[in-house]
Structure 1
Amino acid sequence: MPGVSRLSIRSVLSVLAELLLTGAALLFLLAFYLLVWTNVQTDAAQRSLLEDFRAQTFEGGEESPRTPDVGDGLSVLHIPRLGEDWEWVVLEGVDKKTLNDGPGHFPGTALPGEVGNFAVAGHRATHGEPFAQLDKLKEGDKVYVEAVDGWFTYQVTWSRIVPPTAVEVIAPVAGRPGKNPTVQSLTLVTCHPRWASTERLVVGAQLVESRDPAAGPPPALG
């Protein structure tokens, strides 16, 4: 019987070792998918979106671009504080599939340059993590929005951490639902802390300059 007991223990330990190795392999694959592969997928999507966006022209000589469908490229964000070459195509929509391809514009909020609140959400981790360093933005920093009908420069005026239920931050006047807007503003929303979603980091900015497409990008972008 003692021999049988030792054999049983060895068998159990062997099975446990195999399970641990399998679990470790699965965790490695999950980490690789989240930290590497999702970034590769988003980078490929962004390259295609940027090419499509830059190829856009006004249809039929109209003075304003067509209303984008969910998943379409709407504009391009440039935030020098986050890197000299930091640029991301903003898509229409904030559903999971859309946000996996890049920052998304909250449908129903203002478009770039319009009076009201141009509200944008983005991942802070995985899927290219466009807003990973959003907490580095300071009051006075500039956020440039490249749209098919011009360039719009917003200046950061505030930032705060709020609960996920604080949907008033994307109201026409951020934080003041029901109030009619009189200025053009921008609100950027992401998860906080970076690897969790218990809160939201929100950055607000106001329009300080508009440029015609023919004028080209603001000098600060070179």
Structure 2
Amino acid sequence: MRATLRTVGELSITAGLILLLFCAYLLWGTGAYTDRQQPLLQEELAREMAGGPRLAEERRLGKVRLGGAVALLRIPGLGADYRYAVIEGVSPEHLKKGPGHYPGTALPGQIGNFVVSGHRTTYGAPFNEIDKLDPGDEIVVEAREARYTYRVTRQRVVQPTALEVVAPVPGKPGREPRKAAITLTTCHPEYSAAQRLIVHGVLARTELREE
């Protein structure tokens, strides 16, 4: 009996260690992949931006390649070094590389809703701290043709089924958009996908790139 209890105890400890290692991998190990992909995507953007705004605009108006870089995202309120290349697409494979742009929603600076989703606890956790953003905080999107500065208007928590947050006019499906908006989405609370944390913003400033 004593030997059986010892065996059960050893198995429980082993299982606990395996679970702990797996959790550690999810939190920190997955970020290594994102850390390798982000410099490549940011270099891709830099090369296209170097081609000048005319070339950049031509590429922007063309079909955006799934898995390719759309723009560079900066959020000054989350640190001077905060920068992520935004990927076209929101599949699990796309979001491993970084924040993803919802296909079919507006592109940076366009009238409508530029919707970006990102992980909160794994794969670099790019949106881990977006709950710290306050109304008036800046969200800077550096696209090939211009730099767009949005200002946060509000944040809220919704159910995963609340698809109205990605509508052209956030929260008002069917309404014709008249402003350029941005929406950031991530899981909520941390370590759970039970709800979604949403941050909304509107375009405040556009700075075109020079020839």
Superposition TM-score tier, normalisation by shorter sequence = over 0.9
Encode CA deviations 1:135-159: one digit per residue, 9 max, x unaligned: 1111111110000111001111121
1:29 Cα offset (Å): 2.2
- The letter for the 2-side match of 1:116 is G
Is 1:55 matched up with 2:47?
yes
Whole-Å Cα distance in 1 between the matches of residues 198 and 186 of structure 2? 7
Deviations 1:62-86 (A, max 9, x none): 7432422211111011000011110
Is contact 2:179-2:202 (8 Å) kept?
yes
Query: Aligned pair in 2 of structure 1 residues 191, 62: CA closer, same or farther (>3 Å)?
Result: closer
Where does structure 2 lack aligned partners over 5 or more consecutive residues?
none
| Equivalent in the alignment of 1:64 | 58
**Residue 154 (structure 2) pairs with residue 158 (structure 1):** yes
* 1:175 equivalenced with 2:179 (yes/no): no
Match of residue 181, structure 2, among 172, 181, 185: 185
- Give the aligned partner of residue 3 of structure 1: none
When the two structures are superposed, what TM-score results if normalisation uses the length of structure 2? 0.92
Q: 1:34 aligns with which of 26, 35, 42?
A: 26
Give structure 1 stretches of 5+ with no counterpart.
1-8, 216-222
Would the aligned equivalents of 1:58 and 1:64 in 2 still touch at CA under 8 Å?
A: no
Q: Which residue of 2 aligns with 1:105?
A: 101
Q: Which amino acid aligns with 2:11?
A: L
AA paired with 2:173?
Answer: P
1:118 equivalent in alignment to 2:110? no
Q: Per-residue deviation at 1:24?
A: 2.3
Which residue identity does 1:153 align to in structure 2? T
Instruction: Return the alpha-carbon distance in structure 2 between the equivalents of residues 177 and 64 of structure 1.
Output: 30
CA distance in 2, matches of 1:189, 1:63: 27
TM-score (norm 1): 0.88
User: Equivalents in 2 of 1:20, 1:160: separation in Å?
Assistant: 40
Aligned AA (1:205):
G
Instruction: Supply the AA of the counterpart residue of 2:2.
Output: R
Divergent runs of 4+, >3 A: 57-63
What is the root-mean-square deviation of aligned Cα atoms in Å? 1.8
Give 1:148's match in structure 2, choosing from 122, 144, 159. Answer: 144
Q: Does 1:85 align with 2:77?
A: no
Letter of the 1:128 counterpart = G
Identical-pair percentage: 42
- The structure 1 residue matched to 2:36, chosen from 29, 44, 62, is 44
State the shift of 1:61 in Å.
4.2
Alpha carbons 1:109, 1:119 under 8 Å: kept: yes
Tell me the SS of whatever aligns to 2:6. Answer: helix
Match status 1:22 vs 2:14: yes
Q: Secondary structure at the match of 2:58?
A: coil
The structure-2 alpha-carbon separation of the partners of 1:113 and 1:160, relative to structure 1 and needing over 3 Å to count, comes to: same
Deviation for aligned residue 1:112: 0.2
Using the TM superposition, give the Cα deviation of residue 212 of structure 1 relative to its aligned residue in structure 2, in angstroms.
1.2
